[in-house]
Structure 1
Amino acid sequence: MTKILLSIILIISTLHPVWAKDIEVTVYSDDSYAPYSYKKGRHAAGIYTEIMEIIFSRMKGYRVSIVPVPWKRGLKLLEEGKGFALYPPYKYPEKRPYIELYSNPIINEKVVLVCRHGSLEKTRVNWPEDYEGLTIGLNRGFSLGGKKFWEAVHNGTINVEETENNKMNLMKLLKGRIDCYLNDHFSIMWTLNNMRKNNEVPTRVSDVIRYSTFVSNQQGYLGITGRDQGKFPFKKDFLAQFNKILQELKNDGTIDTIINNFLEENDAELILPAHPCTARQ
């Protein structure tokens, strides 16, 4: 009798994965990083989001919801182990030790520095030492600029002002409240374009601001918390499936198509002369 019961238990345990419900997972997204990741109405939108939706729809055993949140709040959720994953952080393991796992790189981005003309009257070739004394705008929670930049900020030779989103930073830049603004170049152009459509910027933006020579290549990832204390035991399987499907989308051209279609459909024209290092080929 005991052997029969053990056999039944063994059979049931073997079949359980077939019967088990999908694991419900919440992934957080930046709500203010257009055109890559932003909030449209009550829902997540953007280039990364379209990629994520395809990947999540093909993953087996998971039902994934995407929830847009302010970037700094998303990082805090991972830091406290309350949130499972967030996109699209850059890979800063020293600054964000609470992110245990990163996906493979999803999109290549180019970070640029846009400055007021007066701030670039002096030759500024070397980053960050040539920018001492200036105030640089950043989106809240962003860690752009590199190690030497943040050392200069810590030492007080460069000032940083954080604001919630692209638009608020660009308004401050156009009004002369900050000297430069550091962010991805397509994201800056996207926001300026929308501001122009709403008559929120000068007719000729290039008369007020322009690119500096600074450019930095970055990549966006899906970041997974390491502070969950076993709350998310499935994270390695989740990430393995994610990376496999991500590579498939890269190989078949889906990601390139999403990027190109998204920018064209949303009229992401440039309203500043193209930075020589960021011009699309």
Structure 2
Amino acid sequence: MESSWQIIQWNGPKRIVFLLFAFFFTIQVVAKPSYRVVILVDDSYPPYSYLKDGELVGLYVDVVRQAADLISEKYIIELQPVPWKRGVDALRRGEDFALLPPYKNVQGRSFIWPYSEPLHEEVIQAFCNPNSSLLKIENIEYPLKPINVGINAGYLLFDQALNTAMEQNKIKIWENKDTLSNILKLAKNRIDCYINDKWAILSGIKALKKSHPFVDLSQLQQDRIIFKRTAHIGYLKAPSEKFPFKDDFIKEMDAALKLVFERRTQIDSDDK
């Protein structure tokens, strides 16, 4: 009974220390992130997202990491590098929550919805060898042999004219692992043209000049602009008990992305 009375009457410095400990412990519990969220990221799409010395880097990676820091009290976000095609297939099977950085393709990828705030507008363009061109593919009569066009595995970036040309056997598609392997095959005349984001191709050419100094890349020419598209984080459309945080996460991430770009715009304005 005496010990109980001592607890009830406990005051002075010891009581203050105890209350402070309880207060800070409560803050830590409340501030603990609610969920761990994995976003699959294309591991071979320089300069936007790629592996460098085993580390995931790139322009989109930087932006999303900055946004992730802003919502870190609620969400622990892991960016997981994967081959692009494997990432798309993972969402198609409903296994994963999000993928970076798809374009909006509601008809072609009905399993992805919604999309985040746009990260950047990409220019999809063909680069070709001197004796090949897709500029006037609509007006070309049926050739003796089709134009060999390289694409990254999982990236079929065609407009209607190119889709028609493919159906008419005017062009033949070759899927290759990544940007660097496509540029290398283009330089060695194993394909006639390569289609991807303009800056991804130019970045790849720059990298290959360093890694393959004896490969002639000077003959590669910028050719047909296919279209312009914005890149996003794409989310699994189907409702899933695995991802009960979906709606709130998308709202928080969009707000964080907007803030990141507002801050960047302000910095650019201040530098002028």
Q: TM-score, length-normalised on structure 1?
A: 0.77
Say whether 1:226 aligns with 2:233. Answer: no
CA distance in 2, matches of 1:21, 1:213: 47
SS in 2 for 1:211: strand
Residue deviations 1:37-72 (CA, integer Å, cap 9, x gap): 011233311100000111111114110111100000
CA distance in 2, matches of 1:146, 1:256: 37
CA distance in 1, matches of 2:180, 2:124: 16
Which residue of the partner structure matches residue 171 of structure 1? 184
Unaligned runs of 5+ in 1: 1-14, 258-281
Query: Structure 1 residues 254, 113: CA separation in 2 closer, same or farther (over 3 Å shift)?
Result: same
CA displacement at 1:134 relative to structure 2:
1.0
SS in 1 for 2:132: helix
Query: Structure 1 residues 201, 193: CA separation in 2 closer, same or farther (over 3 Å shift)?
Result: farther
Say whether 1:216 aligns with 2:227. Answer: yes
Match of 1:58 among 51, 70, 92: 70
SS in 2 for 1:28: strand
Which residue of the partner structure matches residue 26 of structure 1? 38
Which residue of the partner structure matches residue 98 of structure 1? 111
Which residue of the partner structure matches residue 157 of structure 1? 170
CA displacement at 1:192 relative to structure 2:
1.0
The one-letter amino acid of 1:137's match is G
Residue deviations 1:117-153 (CA, integer Å, cap 9, x gap): 0114xxx534556497311110000121224423432
Residue deviations 1:96-130 (CA, integer Å, cap 9, x gap): 1110211121111111110000114xxx5345564
Which residue of the partner structure matches residue 117 of structure 1? 130
Residue deviations 1:213-250 (CA, integer Å, cap 9, x gap): 42521111000112353321211111111111111122
Q: TM-score, length-normalised on structure 2?
A: 0.79
CA displacement at 1:200 relative to structure 2:
4.4
Alignment of 1:65-76 (within 5 A): 65-76=78-89
CA distance in 1, matches of 2:196, 2:266: 22
CA distance in 1, matches of 2:258, 2:119: 9
Unaligned runs of 5+ in 2: 1-26
Percent identity for Structure 1 against Structure 2: 29
CA distance in 2, matches of 1:131, 1:31: 39
Q: Which has the larger radius of gyration?
A: 2
Query: Structure 1 residues 229, 55: CA separation in 2 closer, same or farther (over 3 Å shift)?
Result: same
